[in-house]
Amino acid sequence: MRPPRRSAARRTTVLSREAVLLTVPAVLAALLGAAAPAGSAGTAKPGAPGAGDAYFPLSGNGGYDVNHYDLTLRYDVASRHLDGKAVLTARATQDLSRFDLDLKGLSVTGVTVDGSAARFTRDGQELVVTPRHAPRKGRDFRVTVTYRGTPKPVTDPDGSPDGWIPTDDGAFVANQPQGAMTWFPSNSHPTDKATYDFTVTVPKGYTAVANGVLRGQSTAHGLTTFRWHAADPMAAYLATATVGTFQTESFTTRDGVKVYNAVDAREAKKAAPVLKKLPSVLEWESKLFGPYPFRAAGSIVDHAPSVGYALETQTRPVYSSAPDMDTLVHESAHQWFGDSVSLTSWKDIWLNEGFASYAEWLYNEQHGGDSAQKTFDALYARPAKDGLWAYPPGDPGSGKNIFGDPVYERGAMALHELRRAVGDKTFLRILRAWADAHRAGHGTTAQFTRLAQRESGKDVGPLLHTWLYAKGKPARA
Ligand SMILES: [Zn+2]
């Protein structure tokens, strides 16, 4: 994500630790899904209502892992009514008497598990499903949920809207961190990645843009249906199905990546010179970070002035207005850092935002702008009471702080100090090794630190610890 540049006056953030709701043993227990042994149906237990995230305890669920989402959506732009059918293919990680999906608002009209009608109840953001036959540990099962209603975005702890956000000509759809539950039932935590198919029907004249490759579109009876296929594992918060009146273009890059751009006419003139650079930015980032992790790319440039941010929706970032170069570089870098290499907990968000921010510094340095050192020095010159030092990037304290300056800017500063300590060549080798070792998977801060030590042969642990975890403004070595 890239929030708009804020003034220094608004950067103050209060140090907060109250949201560390789960203890480490509780987190482990939730991740292990209570560790029910495979056995008779009598051992089946309910899956946990959350994935064990300290900042968002109800995000995600325990007891199963989704492999694929097949989403069929129909959105009426004028009435803002959504009809949905979600077919989830999942594998049970315990004998499962009951399980939750994350879904907020909307009316559920039916749930089946492996074709049999299942009982269900609603409890806040949890859709609680009791199947007729308990899925057994290690077995695949299929859940179908039909639902409808008017999606309403959620308000994040930092006050920004997230999820299915209506616009004057459709909907801007960006889910970080919680918004997936506003438009489809899911296991909404980055620990569970899955492939996706989207079949989205909208009134003729509108375009529905999701992740991955456009498999086809057809119009009949005043409605157009778009079929998208996302073949690489993706966290639910990176899914989109943005609807609008868009100018579209598609082409294939020299590296064989299929690009699809959708641009609101009101943003087209300003967006054009920036979007033109997308292939060269992806090529430049591929040289630095290793091969582009996906088969598809592109941009969705919407006109959504009330939103005011951009998100690295997988393969195809979504922008609420025409992006500048920094923002394009930032969201593109997230395809490696955040999308391909995913978080295991929101607390580690600097692994996404510090890296994407540092990509901006590197891009400017190599394209006639300020050196990364100059950018670092300007930030470091800020006084100790500045909001930049309000909390450490590796431990933001609560979900309210995950998109704050310490995560983005001080997170990037941590990488810059690592670069100074190991040298340019080794530093880039570390970034590539990180993207490669955790490609299409997950990573933690502890794993990154170990990898940096191993690749550099230097004890960079203390330096990273200072920049990521020490309270207040770090002293320079
Ligand atoms: Zn970002």
DSSP 136-184: PTT-EEEEEEEEEE---PEEPTTS-EEEEEEETTEEEEE-TTTGGGGTS
The C-alpha atoms of residue 302 and residue 179 are separated, in whole angstroms, by 18
Å from CA of 464 to ligand 1 middle: 20
What pLDDT is stored for residue 449 in this prediction? Answer: 98
Looking at residues 202-228, what average pLDDT do you find? 98
Q: Which residue's entry shows tokens 């690009």?
A: 259
Looking at residues 377-393, what average pLDDT do you find? 98
What pLDDT is stored for residue 476 in this prediction? Answer: 79
Q: What are residue 168's phi and psi, to 5 degrees? A: -75, -10
- Residue 239's SS3 state is coil
Å from CA of 22 to ligand 1 middle: 26
What pLDDT is stored for residue 42 in this prediction? Answer: 75
pLDDT surpasses 90 at 433: yes
What pLDDT is stored for residue 6 in this prediction? Answer: 40
DSSP 14-49: ----TT--S-HHHHHHHHTGGGPPS-SGGG-EEPPS
Å from CA of 26 to ligand 1 middle: 29
Q: What are residue 421's phi and psi, to 5 degrees? A: -75, -35
* Cα-based distances in Å from 56 to 51, 188, 216, 297, 468: 9, 10, 37, 29, 21
Q: Identify any residues that bridge with 310 across adjacent strands, giving them in sequence order.
A: 2, 319
How is residue 169 written in tokens? 């000509």
Any idea what DSSP says for residue 265?
A: G
Å from CA of 285 to ligand 1 middle: 15
The answer to which of 33-37, 162-166, 335-339 has the lowest mean pLDDT is 33-37
Looking at residues 326-340, what average pLDDT do you find? 98
Interhelix angle 278-289/325-334, rounded to 10 degrees, is: 50
Residue 7 pLDDT class (50, 70, 90 cuts): very low
Residues 171/209, Cβ–Cβ less than 8 Å: no
What pLDDT is stored for residue 271 in this prediction? Answer: 98
> In the chain, pLDDT over 70 holds for what percent of residues?
92
What pLDDT is stored for residue 1 in this prediction? Answer: 87
Å from CA of 402 to ligand 1 middle: 10
Q: What is the pLDDT of residues 234-245, one digit of tens each?
A: 999 999 999 999
What pLDDT is stored for residue 58 in this prediction? Answer: 97
The C-alpha atoms of residue 72 and residue 58 are separated, in whole angstroms, by 25
Å from CA of 439 to ligand 1 middle: 18
Å from CA of 353 to ligand 1 middle: 5
Å from CA of 111 to ligand 1 middle: 35
Q: Regarding predicted confidence, which is higher, 36 or 157?
A: 157
How is residue 281 written in tokens? 């930015």
What pLDDT is stored for residue 477 in this prediction? Answer: 64
What pLDDT is stored for residue 427 in this prediction? Answer: 98
Å from CA of 332 to ligand 1 middle: 9
Q: What is the pLDDT of residues 12-41, one digit of tens each?
A: 233 332 233 333 444 444 444 333 333 445
Looking at residues 123-142, what average pLDDT do you find? 97
What pLDDT is stored for residue 22 in this prediction? Answer: 37
Å from CA of 2 to ligand 1 middle: 4
The C-alpha atoms of residue 258 and residue 194 are separated, in whole angstroms, by 20
pLDDT surpasses 70 at 407: yes
The C-alpha atoms of residue 200 and residue 433 are separated, in whole angstroms, by 38
Looking at residues 445-453, what average pLDDT do you find? 98
Looking at residues 156-177, what average pLDDT do you find? 96
pLDDT surpasses 50 at 87: yes
Looking at residues 176-204, what average pLDDT do you find? 98
What pLDDT is stored for residue 11 in this prediction? Answer: 28
Å from CA of 352 to ligand 1 middle: 6
Å from CA of 172 to ligand 1 middle: 17
Tell me which residue of 13, 76, 10, 47 sits closest to 389, measured CA to CA: 13
pLDDT surpasses 70 at 83: yes
Q: Regarding predicted confidence, which is higher, 14 or 456?
A: 456
The C-alpha atoms of residue 410 and residue 56 are separated, in whole angstroms, by 23
What's the whole-model pTM score? Answer: 0.92
Q: What is the pLDDT of residues 260-310, one digit of tens each?
A: 999 999 999 999 999 999 999 999 999 999 999 999 999 999 999 999 999
